[in-house]
Amino acid sequence: MTIDNTLLLAVTTHEALAYIWYILLAVLLTGYAILDGFDLGVGILHPFVARNDLNRRIVMNSIGPLWDGNEVWLITFGGALFAAFPEAYSTVFSGFYNALMLLLAALILRAVSLEFRSKIGSGRWRTLWDMLFFLGSLLATFLYGVAVGNMMLGIPLDPNHEFAGTFLGLLNPYAILVGIMGVFAFALHGSIYLYLKTEGDFQESLRPVMWRMFFVFVAFYTIMSGWTFFNLPHATETFFNYPILWAVPVLNLLAILNIPRAINQRNEGYAFISSACMIAAFVFLFITALFPYLVPASNNPANSLTIMNAASSVKTLAIMLIIAVVGMPCVIAYTAIIYWTFRGKVTIDETSY
């Protein structure tokens, strides 16, 4: 084998490994968005659907055994991004530092609220943690959406791929719109999940909530889709290069339309599957709009971080792939066991939250 052939093989292997890890990151992000999406949605709805303390405990216990396992997907995603694309990790975390600190605080508030709320029977104590549980869920979801919106637009980067913007600059109208749409998408997802986990009068009170969340979400979804299509031409470039990919937005639309159909037919399980497919399609559309970039630069495309120039070495990516082959089945098995163990309707006893 000549030196040129050896070099060609190395480059090809590096490219293949980089794209494999891009796909694996998308899988992790999809799993997280679907699973943590409904428990964030339940937290957003918490003060609006629970009429008494028993209802509030049912709402919290519907996600109590699951929420921390759902966030394993986020932690795995962050670890994989750090090892596979360290420069992209560095740029994103330094650019979104203040936002990420707020996100971390929001996620901690949710966790602490779940654990502390029922430790004392005082009404004021429980009201405090109820409010913090809601605020943590709302803020975390909104920040996720703002981050997605800014990545779609691109962020200002200098030639060294360092963030050259400001925190307030991230709060632009498009990113805020994506953040609001994300809140109602997760609230819709959470309302369907909560319906499936409850029974009796409380369950029936959730039916109009599902309808309201659906119509508000569709309104923001329509505005956001039109804004993206007409004002962000680079977001659809990959779709025009590979027309077969247009099947995904079509399937996404069909999944959204199937949600009211399933609710109307009282097949809420199908509605939940449809909302999960909708969220998976959103993640796919997001990574396709970014492709081949990981962190697009809004000021100069030459400053962007692409899949290739941000990837780790061949050796690192190959070792990580071996770890992923062993670790991913463990994460999936753990998730499946937890969901199977806590299947069925929520019941309240002395050990509940």
Average pLDDT over residues 308-321: 91
Q: What average pLDDT does this structure show over 118-145?
A: 92
Residue 285 has pLDDT above 80, yes or no: yes
Which of 225-229, 244-248, 349-353 shows the lowest per-residue confidence on average (mean pLDDT)?
A: 349-353
Taking the C-alpha atoms of residue 2 and residue 90, their distance in angstroms, rounded to an integer, is 37
| Mean of all residue pLDDT scores within the chain | 90
Counting every residue written for the chain, the total comes to 353
Task: Report the pLDDT averaged over residues 107-121.
Answer: 88
Instruction: Report the amino acid identity of residue 17.
Output: L
Q: Quick one: three-class SS letters along 79-136?
A: HHHHHHCHHHHHHHHHHCHHHHHHHHHHHHHHHHHHHHHHHCCCHHHHHHHHHHHHHH
Q: What is the pLDDT of residue 327?
A: 87
- What pLDDT score was predicted for residue 168? 87
Tokens 């163990």, located at residue: 341
| 163 three-state secondary structure | strand
What pLDDT does 350 receive?
A: 72
CA distance 140 to 287: 20
pLDDT at site 263: 95
pLDDT band at 13 (very low <50, low <70, confident <90, very high): confident
Least confident of 163-167, 180-184, 246-250: 163-167
Distance linking the first and last C-alpha atoms of the chain: 65
Q: Kindly report which listed range (6-15, 75-84, 183-192, 312-321) carries the lowest average pLDDT score.
A: 6-15
Band (82; pLDDT cuts 50, 70, 90): very high
Q: Which residue is it, tokens 């605020």?
A: 135
Domain boundaries, the chain: 15-342
Model pLDDT, residue 118? 83
Retrieve residue 79's tokens: 């670890």
Contact, 295 vs 85, CB < 8 A? Answer: no
Q: What DSSP element (H or E) covers 45?
A: helix 3-49
Q: Are 282 and 256 in contact (CB under 8 A)?
A: no
Least confident range from 3-12, 72-81, 129-138, 325-334: namely 3-12
pLDDT reported for residue 9: 52
Q: Could you tell me the pLDDT band of residue 92, with boundaries at 50, 70 and 90?
A: confident
Q: What is the pLDDT of residue 10?
A: 54
What pLDDT score does 210 carry?
Answer: 96
**What is the sign, positive or negative, of the torsion defined by CA atoms of 247, 252, 223, 168?**
negative
pLDDT confidence of residue 2:
52
> Does 353 score more than 80 pLDDT?
no
What does the pLDDT read at residue 6? 54
Residue 182 has pLDDT above 90, yes or no: yes
Q: How far is CA 126 from the centre of its chain?
A: 28
Distance CA 142, CA 148 (A): 10
Residue pair 157/297 in contact by the 8 Å Cβ criterion: yes
What average pLDDT does this structure show over 35-40? 93
pLDDT at 5 over 80: no
Q: Tell whether the model's pLDDT for residue 93 goes beyond 90.
A: no
CA separation for the pair 208, 217 (Å, rounded) = 14
Contacts of residue 307, defined as CB under 8 A and 6 or more positions apart, other chains included, come to 18, 19, 22, 85, 291, 292, 293, 294
The whole-number average pLDDT for the span 303-326 is 91
What is the mean predicted confidence (pLDDT) over 293-305? 90
Provide the pLDDT for residue 209: 96
pTM: 0.92
Whether residue 4 has pLDDT greater than 70: no
pLDDT computed for residue 201 by the predictor: 92
Q: What pLDDT is stored for residue 152 in this prediction?
A: 93
272 token code pair:
């939940």
SS3 label, residue 22: helix
Of the CA atoms within 13 Å of residue 323, those in its CB half-sphere come to: 12
Residue 235: the pLDDT is: 87
